[in-house]
Structure 1
Amino acid sequence: MTPTRTPRPDGTGLALLLVTTIGWGLNWPAMKLLLAEWPVLTTRASAGVVGLAVLLAVTMARRESLAVPWSLWPRLVLTSLLNVTAWMGLASFSLLWLSAAEATIVCYTMPVWAALMAWAILGEKPGPARIAGLLLALSGLALLVLGRGVAVGLEKAPGVAFGLGSAILFSLGTVVTKRWPLGLPPTCATVWQVGLGILPLGLLAAAFDHPDIARLSMLDWALLAYGGVFALGLCYLSWFAALRRLPASLASLGTLITPMVGVASAAFFLGEPFGWREATAMGLTLSGVGLALRG
């Protein structure tokens, strides 16, 4: 009897996944630099508009339809608020209190919270691996926040709250999409979610922010273009393309490269400290996330 061979992962899919995760990881230190010059809402809304323009251009080049049935609009608005508005807004606010490395680690606990919400909403009871993953991730967060003392931890508490809020709401959006799928083509769904998701950020920015365009240097403009064109536009397209070629479990585990790139690039470009505390916290958190995904 001939043994069954395990199919090899698609090489193009792996390359697309690598490009996506590196692109997303590098955006964290870029956002940290931009937020030193511009308000959060203005920065994220501006990058979102650029990313939306890229996605629309790709959609028109492919001549894909953007039609959405009326029955899907409530679901589309809800997922846009959870997957884009909450994620982009709250995760960015966390950078006002946390370093780029710390914010990356906190926000990428998403799969752990998704596992818990899948239990509550989808009835997917977590096994020992997911429970162990949750405990590992929480221990990593505790070390990250309290490793330099309770006083420093309390100073960072607002940033941790924003980061966890973004991760939890994004996870809720993932589970809601799983429970009530949109059934739209990936590019169409991305265009509408980005467009609807950045709309509240843009309206809030217009109402409360007073950005000074003169404050932006050429580097700042380049970082803003990078966040819009690459991190939000092209990386989302490469992510969906990778999902079409790879098993979902492999693609999800591949996203663990993103916080590693974020932490490493923050240390390299911003000079953020990366000692035993950061390394141990990242190891515990990512191990927990990996267990949750495999479980």
Structure 2
Amino acid sequence: MNIRGCIYTLMAATMWGLIGPISKFPMEQGLSPIENAFWRAAIGWIFFAAHAYRKSSLKIEKKDLLPVLVFGVTGVTIFYGAYQLAVRDVGAALASVLLYTAPAWVALMSWLFLGEKMGCSKVIALIMTVCGVVCVSMGPQLFGNATTIKFTWFGIICGLTSGFTYALYYIFGKTFLTRYSTPTVFLYALPVGAVLLLPFFEFHHKTSGSWACLIALALICTYGANSVYYAGLKYLEATSAAVIATFEPVIAAILAWLWWQEKFDWTGYLGSMLILGAVMIIVRAGRKQEKTKKECPA
């Protein structure tokens, strides 16, 4: 496995893991989760636009414009908004774990819409994901365990929604990210996503600390993370990169514990391991499937 590729992917996972813990600072100072999502998209667009301009990658075909704009709605408006709401209502650690239900959503949608086979391993992974979600969400109530992570069912739904919309990145990417660079896609998707968030919040006064956090969300967690992740894909197989990227919820959980004293009970840790274990199984199944296609082309 290429060391440089591993380092890039670990950097991306670390940057993504910062999203939840950093987002809580502006929320503590009165900003709504949706305003956090808006500024992440709006400021992030500046960096992607500069990158696209520098690379002369500004054009997109007219026939692809509508799908890219729809991606802006699902991949920015709903995804960014739902994730921020999940951070508010269930905490940074649990929000990150629920985000990683995305591979299970991908397996399900690929079976329903792309005609990919749903083998035994993927079925097991889906069952593990469901059990994991039950553990992290209902465990404390069922077993009466003490935990410092308080949650609402709305927050759980938002966390699962963020996982579902994050999964759409894969479905969308199968078609469009092979034809356009990441900066080009986000050049068009981010402003649409940001504008559609405007009706759902009122602008709040921001301290210099809040602005620093919002800029960090855009520069580090959005532009920076995507840039180094795709740089890592030049040296690694997508499967290997996906496995390494599961370091993200670990980072989020550690920082949430250090900065915000968030802590799971034993059912939360069990559920987290089930969800991340399911990710590994799905990634491994995908790798075997790709290998079979190469060895036995149709």
TM-score normalised by length of structure 1: 0.87
Corresponding residue for 2:47?
54
1:185-224 to 2 correspondences below 5 Å: 185-201=181-197, 203-204=198-199, 208-213=200-205, 216-224=206-214
Q: How does 1:48-127 map to 2 (within 5 A)?
A: 48-60=41-53, 62-127=54-119
Return closer, same or farther for 1:155/1:238 CA change in 2, 3 Å cut-off: closer
Match of 1:234 in 2: 224
Equivalence for 2:292: none
Could you say which residue in structure 2 is the equivalent of 1:4? none
Q: Over residues 209-237 of structure 1, what are the superposed CA-to-partner deviations in whole Å (9 max), with x where a residue is unaligned?
A: 23331xx4443222112101111111111
Instruction: Indicate yes or no: 2:255 matched with 1:262.
Output: no
2:236 equivalent in structure 1: 246
* Residue in 2 that maps onto 1:276: 266
CA distance in 1, matches of 2:72, 2:120: 32
Distance in 1, Cα, partners of 2:170 & 2:78: 13
| Distance in 2 (alpha carbons) for counterparts of 1:281 and 1:246 | 29
- Give the whole-Å Cα distance in 1 for the aligned partners of 2:39 and 2:215: 9
- Rounded to whole Å, the distance in 1 between the matches of 2:142 and 2:56 is 53
Distance 1:151 1:95, change over 3 A: farther
Bigger shift: residues 280-289 or 179-188: 179-188
Q: 2:37 is aligned with what amino acid? A: R
Does the Cα contact within 8 Å between 1:55 and 1:234 map onto a contact in 2?
no
Q: Identity across aligned pairs (percent)?
A: 22
Q: 1:45 aligns with which of 38, 43, 60?
A: 38
Match of 2:166 in 1: 170
Aligned in 2, Cα 1:196/1:13: closer, same or farther, shift over 3 Å? farther
Distance (Å, rounded) in 2 between the aligned partners of 1:112 and 1:63: 35
CA drift of 1:268 comes to 1.0
Deviates more, 1:278-287 or 1:186-195: 186-195
Residues 46 and 147 (structure 1), Cα distance of their counterparts in 2 relative to 1, 3 Å cut: same
Instruction: Give yes or no for the alignment of 1:13 onto 2:13.
Output: no
Worse-superposed segment, 34-43 or 260-269: 34-43
Tell me by how many angstroms 1:293 deviates: 1.6
Runs of 4+ in 1 over 4 A off after TM superposition: 150-155, 179-182
Matched residue count: 280
Structure 1 spans left out of the alignment, 5+ residues: 1-8
State the AA in 1 paired with 2:55. R
Is 1:129–2:121 an aligned residue pair? yes
Change in CA separation of 1:240 and 1:193 when aligned onto 2, cut-off 3 Å: farther
- Give the C-alpha shift of residue 174 in structure 1: 2.2
After alignment, is 162-171 or 113-122 more displaced?
162-171
Question: 2:36–2:84: 8 Å Cα contact kept in structure 1?
Answer: no
SS at match of 1:68: coil
Q: Which residue, 154, 157, 166 being the options, matches 2:153?
A: 157
Change (3 A) 1:257 1:154: closer
Partners of 1:130 and 1:292 within 8 A in 2: yes
Contact 1:14 1:242 in 2 (8 A): yes
Greater CA deviation, 189-198 or 81-90? 189-198
Instruction: Give the Cα separation in 1 of the matches to 2:180 and 2:192.
Output: 15
CA shift at 1:154, angstroms? 11
Equivalent residue number for residue 290 of structure 2? none
Q: Secondary structure at the match of 1:95?
A: helix
Offset at 1:194?
2.3
**How much has 1:50 moved relative to structure 2?**
1.5
Unaligned runs of 5+ in 2: 286-298
Change (3 A) 1:230 1:181: closer
Q: Distance in 1 between matches of 2:173 and 2:46?
A: 24
Task: After superposition, give the CA deviation of every residue in 1:40-63 in whole Å (9 maximum; x if it has no partner).
Answer: 222211122211112222233x33
Amino acid at match of 1:220: S
Change in 2 beyond 3 A, CA 1:197/1:33? same
How far apart are 1:66 and its partner, in Å? Answer: 0.6
How far apart are the structure 2 equivalents of 1:159 and 1:260? 20
CA contact (8 A) 1:267 1:274 kept: no
